[in-house]
Amino acid sequence: MFIHKNKRVLVGVTGGIAAYKSPELVRRLKDRGCDVRVVMSEGAKAFITPLTLQAVSGNKVHEELLDEEAELGMGHIELARWAEQIVIAPATANFIAKLAAGRADDLLSTLVLATSAEIAVAPAMNQQMWQHPSTAENLSLLQDRGVRVIGPGSGDQACGEVGPGRMTDPTEIATLLAGEALARPLVGKRVLITAGPTWEAMDPVRGITNHSSGKMGFALAEAALDCGAEVTLVSGPVHLETPAGATRIDVRSAQNMLEAVLENVNSADYFVAVAAVADYRPINVAEQKIKKTDESDEMTIRLVKNPDILATVGAMPNRPYCIGFAAETENQIAHARAKLTRKNVDIIAANNVAGDEGAFGSDQNAVTLIHHNGEIEIPTNDKYAVAISMWRHILKLANSA
Ligand code: C5P
């Protein structure tokens, strides 16, 4: 599945300014011993010359669908069969639309239709184009068909705007394709993470809980491990495998979770509270299953406030660097910023859990990191990629604090 020595990788370059980064990607793939061939779209040639890509790949660059010379050697069907991995970087909004529509009007789109290789795209475009519903729908269609979407990143754009749409750094693309840890900036650091829902019992069989799947917390644990950290994962009831190398402590209620956190927080350098902790719990927990009665159609359960685990850690002297989450259905940014101060933490990751697009249970997420000096957008991606991106920003912010 991952690229490795001798893997046959076809790099597709389409027409965006980020094409200037494609030779760097080819180099990073060659560093890993891959056999690399490059296919350029007509538009790509306005930004970079085939000669450059030929020089770095060591192979003739393929450009035309109907190329007499190529048909004798490597025409589109041969290339489609040859490739084990295709990575299109940069992938423009237009090219993504073509792939989604299944068009075959140039060499690259044709061979993508004709291949059984794994396909990845690294989108690069103006932030408005990235945020356009057409682009989002096209990408989600491609993802449903198994195409891997890498990035984009967020920040200053060549067009002078700021926002999501920058092509992911070539080293990062190659690293993700190789399934390697990005870098190991968390070596020697201890990370404590809460994840999943809590279960607040009413009686031995019933309780109050929520839809949290635990996936984001587990992804952050996995990403921290890949960055070299020692990870303790305090998890509410979830159906997820423990990331290899993590110390997992299973808990049920908010009170259990607080105890587990307090036992481990003193040695932690980073505390990430991802758990969707129940705000209230039943005051009384019946020893036996509560029976329904014929006396009344109503029943009242009295609740009491749970401890706020994140705020408790936030208030500790010598506390670790603290990151919380804000899952809101409205006014996310304003609520998240208020939480930053109220809980005395360093970062709040705001994600929207409203409607079908919500993060709960999904394999994808998009978050805005709210910190004391600004905001950082991490666009929609699979939760592991979002987690890697989060750690990169967390470390930058923590080191500049
Ligand atoms: O106050 P609210 O529940 O919206 O805050 C969410 C953040 O606080 C999350 O990071 C969550 O893990 C944490 N939290 C907590 N203990 C609670 C409630 C929330 O650690 N009792």
- 324 Cα nearest atom in ligand 1: 10
Substitution site in 308, 347, 353, 390 for ligand 1 pocket (most atoms within 8 Å of beta carbon): 308
pLDDT at residue number 357: 43
Q: What is the pLDDT of residue 176?
A: 86
Q: What pLDDT is attached to residue 355?
A: 46
List active site positions. 159
Q: Report the half-sphere exposure of 30 (CA within 13 A, side-chain side).
A: 16
pLDDT of res. 75: 78
| 317 burial type by CB count under 10 A (0-12 exposed, 13-18 middle, 19+ buried) | exposed
- Per-block mean pLDDT, blocks of 10 residues, the chain (401 long): 82 97 94 94 96 95 77 76 96 98 95 95 95 95 92 81 87 84 81 98 96 94 92 97 94 98 98 97 96 91 97 97 90 90 97 56 85 90 86 92 74
Tokens 């190329």 found at = 67
Q: Whose CA is nearest to atom 4 of ligand 1?
A: 326
Backbone angles phi, psi at 260, to 5 degrees: -65, -40
Q: How far is CA 229 from CA 126, 184, 247, 309, in A?
A: 35, 8, 11, 22
Nearest atom, ligand 1, residue 254 CA: 21
Q: Where in the chain are the domains?
A: 8-178, 190-400
Q: Which of 345, 348, 321, 343 is nearest to 333 (CA)?
A: 348
Measured in Å, residue 277 CA sits from the centre of ligand 1 at: 6
Same fold, 8-178 and 190-400: yes
Distance 250 CA to ligand 1 centre (A): 18
CATH class of 8-178: alpha beta
Output the ligand 1 site: residues, CB below 6 A: 194, 254, 273-275, 277, 306, 308-310, 324-326, 339
pTM score above 0.75: no
Query: CATH for 190-400?
Result: 3.40.50.10300
Measured distance CA(113)–CA(115) in Å, rounded: 6
